[in-house]
Amino acid sequence: MSAQDLVTLNRLGSVAASPDGRWAALAVTTTDPVSFKRTSGLAVKALASPKGAPVNLIWDGSASDPAFAPDGRLYFLSDRKAQGAATGSTQVWSVALDAAGAIVGSPVKVTDFKTDVAGFKLSPDGKRIAVWGDIGRNCPTFGGCDTDGNTSLPGPGTGRHYKDGAGFVRHWDTWETPGNYSRVFAFVLDANGAANTDTGRALDGDPANGGLVGDAPAKPFGDGTQIAWSADSSAVIYSARQADRDEPRSTNLDLWWAPVDGGAPKNLTVENKATDSSPAASPDGRWLAWTAMARPTYEADRLVVWLMDLKSGQKRALTDAWDRSASTLAWTPDSKALIATAEDVLDVPAFRIDPVSGKVTRLALSPKREGNIGNVTPLKDGRIVFTRDTVEAPAELYVAKAGKPGVRMTDYATTTLAQRAPVTTQRFSFKGANGDTVWGLITKPAGIAGKLPGILYVHGGPQGSYNDTWSNRWNPRVVASQGYAVVSVDFHGSTGYGQAFTDAINKDWGGKPLEDLQKGFAAAGALDAQVDTDNACAMGASYGGYMMNWIEGMWPDKFKCLVQHDGVFDARAMAYETEELWFDEWEHGGNAYFQAPEEFEKWNPVNHVAKWKTPMLVITGEKDFRIPYTQGLAAFTALQTRKVPSELLVFPDENHWVLKAKNSLQWHQTSFAWLDRWLRKGGKAE
């Protein structure tokens, strides 16, 4: 498997099932193998026919974010251009499908605003639509005001001017636009199925009377899972955080109940100062479920499922006794159960939650190897539609009958990868720091004899996990396919092992995690004699990049090379340069740098540069505002000053991740050449 294979494989994204359980609409991204241009489109799959090929939606323009209306009509986002227009804005469209899954009749342009629609949700009765996009806070209509603009640009020059109390001035990869927010509006659909602009209502209320000023969904990663309709279609529930000078230190997302008639929204979770998200109303109108954290400013706290009785208003923690963190929620159509997904020891399975007792039951949708379950949609007849991927293969669509394993329904990448040399993945565990059980994965080429150079993969977060899941960026299979044995270790701080294990990294970035990595890499070599831990390199991004810088000074004799992507080099500079301050401060005991500099300096890689000697490739993106690219430049300067063999790869158009197809190809080619230089005879792969 080559880097080009990884970059150009078809990618299955979001999934929507029709109310009658007949169809699934699939968002699919394709990449041209020559130009590397990516195209987003939709396909329709008959759920009763596992072997039948999906029907591609013939459509002029992009198509994404599919959703079915109660009558079976398919809605989606598209940038389809009007006849004669040079460009098109992203709007909501709908089409009817015939018995074969093809478009029948004329498509309807549901929205037609001058502002792009970022997302939408259809009401349960099919009579209304909620849409969201970036709109001026003082504008009562969706994109209908000339004041929709960036108030940080007063002119006459090009300077951005942020006033006292602005809060975020930049976030993730974008400079903030004061006065503009992601806002939700509700519209009535007319007899033709289009949004009646005269009926549009903003759902964030009057700021002078308790209304919200903030982004819904939350930026930068919020999506439609943060927005839901009430069962009777009378209100929209959304998750949002107040935007003010404290926002960079706040994880306080609240749930807001907003009547679609324009009445004032109500904060349902005002008592919780931590995150409340993923609202899901039961179809029978009795319950509102959501996920909630307990500790303010901690973005990786356990997400407990909560339940509100919508008649009495009584709330209770439903899964407080379950030491896992729910990531998605979906009600069964009969309202008798919630289906959630959560990380659980290298897997992301689905779980059934009883709304009365709170009992949690793990579902065996893929009993021999769950991998990563996503896009879970329960159907009326008891079937469950979902996607599944593993380290070795990207997502495909599955359908499982009640109590049965899932059956694969698509072949977007399975056959293609079957034509490539196979790899094997083995799970292992060992005694790590404090004698705790720590888990990891070994991925290597199958059917090859002899020693394989070892690659220690270190995940980011740090509250994260490589899991048994596919990645389009840090992909163990494509690295292993170059002839390496890739070892990943879920060190203390990783998710899927209970909250105490996740919390263990707090104020200990360079302690227990490094011990786990050292012991885990040795354990992998002892378990599998093919893993050559003496001829090895290590690589990681974000926290994994920090760990490369930490290894440079604290484990300097182990590796022949390192690949460091967007890692913290100087904790002091990071404390004043990053945007989401809640993260950096929580990790160092809830303190700003000036309050407890010793907590930051204890694990600061810059303090150990005098010991640096391992060759390092440094990679960074100029649009990375999480760990600014200056951290990478500083690390490269340190290496060059120390005369340590080193290279620097800077992407001017990438953020904390490398997302563009050609850039991804360059990232892999550069990284593979660096690994080959230090691990291969003659400096190149055989």
Residue 124's region, left for phi above 0, alpha for psi from -120 to 50, else beta, is alpha
- Which among 542, 646, 664, 671 is annotated as catalytic? 542
CB atoms within 10 A of CB 578: 19
Question: Do the beta carbons of residue 575 and residue 538 sit within 8 Å?
Answer: no
Asked if 325 is an active-site residue, the reply is no
> How far apart (Å, rounded) are the C-alpha atoms in residues 74 and 88?
20
Q: Which amino acid type is present at position 655?
A: N
| Gyration radius of the chain's alpha carbons | 25
Among 65, 344, 389, 624, which one carries the catalytic annotation?
Answer: 624
Question: Among this protein's residues, is 588 annotated catalytic?
Answer: no
Identified catalytic residue from 565, 588, 656, 668: 656
- How is residue 30 written in tokens? 């394709």
Annotation says 20 is catalytic = no
What DSSP string describes 604-655?
-GGGGGGG--S-EEEEEETT-TTTTHHHHHHHHHHHHHTT--EEEEEETT--
Task: Go through 202-222 and write b for each residue having 16 or more CB atoms within 10 A of its CB, e for each that does not.
Answer: bbbbeeeeebbebbbbbbbeb
Q: Which candidate, 676, 528, 681, 549, places its Cα nearest to that of 614? A: 549
Strands (E) located in 163-303: 170-171, 174-175, 180-189, 195-202, 214-215, 227-229, 235-242, 253-259, 266-267, 276-281, 287-292
Helix, strand, or coil (residue 87): coil
Q: Which residues contact 26 (CB under 8 A, 6 or more apart)?
A: 12, 13, 14, 15, 42, 43, 44, 45, 54, 66, 397, 410
Rounded to an integer, what distance in angstroms lies between the CA atom of residue 46 and that of residue 409? 9
Nearest alpha-carbon partner for 132 in 257, 19, 242, 216: 216
Answer for the pair 74, 92: CB distance below 8 angstroms, yes or no.
no
Q: Do 492 and 504 meet the contact criterion of CB atoms below 8 Å apart?
A: yes
What is the set of active-site residues? 542, 624, 656
